[in-house]
Amino acid sequence: MAQIPGRLIVDMFSDGMVRMVFLPHTGDGNASPLTAKDLDAAEVLFITCGLTPERAAALRAEVNRNEVASVDTSVDVRIAAKFRYTRP
- Residue 25 is predicted with a pLDDT of 86
Q: pLDDT of 16-72, one tens digit each? A: 999 999 998 876 667 889 999 999 999 999 999 999 999 999 999 999 999 999 999
Give dist(CA 25, CA 1) in Å, integer.
18
